Amino acid sequence: MDCRQEKTAEQFRLEANEAFHKKKYAQACELYTKAIEISPSAVLYANRSLARIKLEEYGYAYMDACKSIEWDPRYPKGYYRRAVANFALGKYKAALEDFTRVLQLVPNDTDALAKKKECEKRMRELAFAKAIDSDAVKPCSAFDTIDYESIPVEDSYTGPRWERDEDIKSFCDQLLEYLRNQGRLHRKYLIKLLCYSKRYFDQLSNIVSYQVKECGLTVCGDTHGQFYDVLNIFQLNGYPSRENPYLFNGDFVDRGSFSVEVIITLLSFVCYDPQCMLLNRGNHESRNMNKIYGFEGEVKSKYNEKIYSLFAELFESLPLGHLLMGEKENQRVLVIHGGLFSRDGVTLEDLQKIDRHREPDQGLMAELLWSDPQKELGLGVSKRGIGVSFGPDVTRRFLDANQIALLVRSHEMKEQGYEIEADNRLITVFSAPNYCDQMGNLGAYIRFSSSLEPHVTTFSHVPHPNVPPMAYASNGLSSMGLV
């Protein structure tokens, strides 16, 4: 390689670093790729790995970290990046091995030591959970041990009360304003919401058929604990009611630090009238994600571990999708959180047979909640490390085989809040604007008419109280800086 090529590669690296520091992570990846094409190195692969971690592309980040280690087996940041990618995927044993290797190379790295201890803690928790989850000793439902009626409400509590079922409308009306002003719903009424909601969700099938009425239906994507942006959606599009129903398509919690307020709000409308608030499960409605990305920590901080166990069990009862039915027989739209599957021939009947009361870590359920579309035809490796990447031809075959006109999914941040792909047969909608207070993206929601014609509205973020995203998250996701 001549000096001119080396200077060009170095210029791309510097430009990539600048883009990274401006939080333009996709642009940084493109620039690192250009540098790698000219002069690959352990540093460049490790830097691109970090940018992909920021984009939550943990599968790609893992592969880049492996490449970094191949180029220089003594480069600590390669092991560090791989450890963070594995930690994000819940692969604590592999992460532990790499953090241990970092400490062999950099013995005084206090951050790596802290993350090593976090991995060891997670592994102990998993071992304990596995030990008690046997055929001989099945843990009872957390809901079986709860008696919310016996929980006293202190005289000092000034928030909304829900003592009688007929009080639910006034309860909901007062609740939103109370939460907006950073009030904390009393645990008695929160547990009551959880119990009522779980009884309702347990009655539903995996894929719920829903007839869209003349009033239409609004579909929202990921909200990720951005409570004040959820309130803004209601301000822009009207509050949920039977005449103005909503479907929130998963990932209500994690990352944003008002996840408790988001899920309480959604569940309150479910209890008020299930026909005004439909919910799908997302990949973040799971114990592993909640432990890493903040919801578990937030619930324990605002309430206690017992209430988190109720949330975790409730999430397993959520349906996996909704099949929207239009005015005519051939008008059908499938709304699921993630995407499609690693094999052709999957039917709606197959999805109905899934045992959804578990972690979404394998099989059709994992793919349904984790997969992403790609521009290329066919199937590809998942950038996340779970699920698959599926092309427009895969989308077309699945929809045609199941007599569905359109697939709506969420799961990915989009600059404009939405993206239409696969010859207009796939729409991604994302409803968390300025994601994690740093991405600068718009949010969006889709309003479907009774003929299932989609109308997209985009919106910007609104201010929120000074609590940063990931305030309750695990400390295992930070990464050593760029070079």
Q: Cα dihedral angle (15, 45, 62, 30), rounded to 10 degrees?
A: 40
* CB contact at 8 A, 286 and 360: yes
SS3 letters across 20-88: HHCCCHHHHHHHHHHHHHHCCCHHHHHHHHHHHHHCCCHHHHHHHHHHHHHHCCCCHHHHHHHHHHHHH
What are the backbone angles phi and psi of residue 478, rounded to the nearest 5°?
-70, 160
**Minimal CA–CA distance to 480: which of 122, 99, 118, 117?**
99
Q: For residue 69, give the 3-state DSSP assignment.
A: helix
Q: How many CB atoms lie within 10 A of CB 240?
A: 25
**Minimal CA–CA distance to 255: which of 464, 63, 21, 25?**
464
The Cα–Cα gap between 478 and 248 comes to 30
The Cα–Cα gap between 154 and 139 comes to 32
Sequence-distant (≥ 6) Cβ neighbours of residue 24 within 8 angstroms: none
The Cα–Cα gap between 468 and 256 comes to 8
The Cα–Cα gap between 445 and 247 comes to 10
* CB contact at 8 A, 448 and 335: no
Q: How many CB atoms lie within 10 A of CB 276?
A: 17
Q: How many CB atoms lie within 10 A of CB 157?
A: 15
**The two three-digit tokens of residue 98, written as one number:** 């790499």
The Cα–Cα gap between 475 and 111 comes to 9
Q: Cα dihedral angle (250, 370, 408, 477), rounded to 10 degrees?
A: 60
The Cα–Cα gap between 212 and 216 comes to 6
Helices of type H across 158-280: 168-180, 187-202, 227-237, 259-272
Sequence-distant (≥ 6) Cβ neighbours of residue 342 within 8 angstroms: 367, 379, 388
Q: How many CB atoms lie within 10 A of CB 103?
A: 18
**H or E stretch covering 372:** strand 372-373
Name the residues annotated as catalytic: 284
Q: List Cα–Cα distances, 14 to 32, 78, 322, 479, in angstroms.
A: 9, 19, 46, 19
